[in-house]
Structure 1
Amino acid sequence: MLTSDISTPRTLEIRGLSVCATRRGHHIDLVRNLSLTLNTGEILALVGASGSGKSMTCAGAQGVLPPGVISPHGHVLVDGVHLAPRALRGRLVSTVLQNPRSAFNPVRTMFDHACEVRRVAAASPAGDKTAVREAFLEVGLEDADTVMDLYPFEMSGGMLQRVMIALAILSGAPFIFADEPTTDLDLIVQARILDLLSGLVARRGLGMLLVTHDMGVVARLATRVAVMEAGQIVEEAPVADIFHAPRHPATRALVAAHLKLYEGAIA
């Protein structure tokens, strides 16, 4: 449960985060002294080329780094209160992944997964059916009672992504880390999921850290943008400034690549 000091969270700060790995005796910096602030009610896009450290930033902040990768420095504050990663996961920060099939236990139903999330949120089991049904309906799973009994292999990628977003709702977490949430979906489903995420932020006042390399998604959803290169944030600005007055070469390259693709699409 949340403490009284952070009962109505408004701001999540990542301060001085470093992530590194050791390979064949060599020390490799993946994220270097990174700091950023996410406010509720906004979508902060974390962008950069593949390998720039975006996903490692999310994993490092939540303490879920892969084997052989460590975070020697950095901490997270919520409304100025320093919290350990385990106090964030599923309570203050929910995560939406790019490959939803990897996030679900294949031998458990969607209702089982939802009930587990509610236990973490300390919700009463007596209200499980109603709460899960309402969350599933909110994310567009219209036959909610049927979906509750389904297993992951019985569902499409788009349905699983909607369930994952429903689990974020059920957690009650005020912040969402969405790591390339539409990469594995077709274009029509992508658009629907993006609209769903944007609507949730607007209706519920959530703060979303949106990890992406797709500048079209950034233009459509983001409030602010932080640009990463080689494990560091090299530019941060409102979304309009990023597109119309990019300062750093990495930012200009991302915008130029986006514009080139767009021009090719309409030629």
Structure 2
Amino acid sequence: MTSRCLEISGLTVRTMCDGRERELVSGVDLALEGGEVLALVGASGSGKSMTCAAALDVLPPGTWRAGGTVELDGQVRTAREVRGAYVATILQNPRSAFNPVRTMRSHAHETLRALGMGRSGRNARVEAAMIDAGLEDVPRILALHPFEMSGGMLQRMMVALALMSEAPFLFADEPTTDLDLIVQREILDLLERLKKTRGLGILLVTHDMGVVARLADRVAVMDAGRIVETGPVMDVFHRPAHPTTRRLVDAHLSLYPTLSPAEPAT
């Protein structure tokens, strides 16, 4: 796939609450270019993950997309067209994303079958994706079940499954939350390398401003289901305009009292 721009326009999500419709995400607009990381930040419950789910039509029961479009290079696409083929996803808790009684080989082949790929060439694509994700002992790892792997290995395997799709865009929803600090750094290094070598456009969902400072090119700040501020990452750290953004930056800097806003911790 060679798409270079993904645009989400007017995305709105609703649910029913006490017999009335309630808006959970309100008219969200986002644009993601190939080869950049756009961080979608905000407090828990602000609508970040809901936005990603709505764009890919994988919303939880009881919620629905009430409006909005997804465009690839200016052409409107359905969620079915986009999901998997153009946008791959990695999640915050890799252990819950894998079937515990199936091997990594089974998960990999299921992914490629879902993409419509025949048997020819499967093994080569699996091996290339796993090596690119930092999993070099391919035969041994393919034989493992999830309970035989560490959280870091499972997150790398989830990245590998995303790479197997050869999608030009990646939604990474809190990809380092459940990992220890060393593995967090390794996963962030991996995502940065893939951005450069594969030209991936990455929508990084997080509430951790340290992760934002480490990896993002631009930031979109979300509050109560709305985008309240967007800008280059250093502009957001140096000159946060919205109260929500200032609270996020201040909370981050309070953890590192020796730093100034010009030196966000990474």
Q: Tell me if TM exceeds 0.5.
A: yes
For 1:11 and 1:116, locate their aligned partners in 2 and report how far apart those are by CA, in whole Å. Answer: 28
User: What one-letter code is carried by the residue in structure 1 that aligns with 2:10?
Assistant: G
- Aligned match of 2:214: 220
Alpha-carbon offset, residue 51 of structure 1: 0.7
- Aligned match of 1:138: 132
SS in 1 for 2:32: strand
For 1:250 and 1:256, locate their aligned partners in 2 and report how far apart those are by CA, in whole Å. Answer: 10
For 2:46 and 2:211, locate their aligned partners in 1 and report how far apart those are by CA, in whole Å. Answer: 18
Alpha-carbon offset, residue 263 of structure 1: 1.8
Q: For the Cα contact (< 8 Å) 1:10–1:40, is it kept in 2?
A: yes
For 1:76 and 1:229, locate their aligned partners in 2 and report how far apart those are by CA, in whole Å. Answer: 21
- Aligned match of 1:162: 156
* 1:45-91 residue CA offsets vs partner (Å, 9 max, x unmatched): 00011111000000000000000011111110111111111111111
For 2:85 and 2:54, locate their aligned partners in 1 and report how far apart those are by CA, in whole Å. Answer: 17
For 1:85 and 1:92, locate their aligned partners in 2 and report how far apart those are by CA, in whole Å. Answer: 10
* Gap runs ≥5 in structure 1: 1-6
- Aligned match of 1:95: 89
* Gap runs ≥5 in structure 2: 260-264
- Aligned match of 1:105: 99
User: What one-letter code is carried by the residue in structure 2 that aligns with 1:216?
Assistant: G
1:18 aligns with 2:12: yes
Q: What's the Cα RMSD here?
A: 1.5
1:72 aligns with 2:66: yes
For 1:130 and 1:84, locate their aligned partners in 2 and report how far apart those are by CA, in whole Å. Answer: 30
User: What one-letter code is carried by the residue in structure 1 that aligns with 2:168?
Assistant: P
- Aligned match of 1:63: 57
Most deviating of 137-146 and 241-250: 137-146
State the TM-score, normalized to the length of structure 2.
0.94
- Aligned match of 2:117: 123
For 2:13 and 2:240, locate their aligned partners in 1 and report how far apart those are by CA, in whole Å. Answer: 27
1:181 aligns with 2:175: yes
For 2:59 and 2:227, locate their aligned partners in 1 and report how far apart those are by CA, in whole Å. Answer: 19
User: What one-letter code is carried by the residue in structure 1 that aligns with 2:121?
Assistant: G
User: What one-letter code is carried by the residue in structure 1 that aligns with 2:193?
Assistant: G
Report percent identity of matched pairs: 60
- Aligned match of 1:3: none
For 2:109 and 2:196, locate their aligned partners in 1 and report how far apart those are by CA, in whole Å. Answer: 26
Most deviating of 26-35 and 39-48: 26-35
1:171 aligns with 2:177: no
State the TM-score, normalized to the length of structure 1.
0.94
User: What one-letter code is carried by the residue in structure 2 that aligns with 1:129?
Assistant: N
- Aligned match of 1:149: 143
1:43 to 37, 45, 49: 37
SS in 1 for 2:69: strand
1:207 aligns with 2:201: yes
- Report the structure, 1 or 2, having the larger helix content: 1
Task: Report runs of 4+ in structure 1 exceeding 6 Å deviation.
Answer: none
For 1:38 and 1:124, locate their aligned partners in 2 and report how far apart those are by CA, in whole Å. Answer: 31
User: What one-letter code is carried by the residue in structure 2 that aligns with 1:248?
Assistant: H
SS in 2 for 1:263: coil
For 2:232 and 2:258, locate their aligned partners in 1 and report how far apart those are by CA, in whole Å. Answer: 26
For 2:69 and 2:149, locate their aligned partners in 1 and report how far apart those are by CA, in whole Å. Answer: 37
Alpha-carbon offset, residue 131 of structure 1: 2.0
For 1:264 and 1:246, locate their aligned partners in 2 and report how far apart those are by CA, in whole Å. Answer: 19
1:238 aligns with 2:236: no
Alpha-carbon offset, residue 141 of structure 1: 1.4
Alpha-carbon offset, residue 172 of structure 1: 0.6
Alpha-carbon offset, residue 264 of structure 1: 7.7
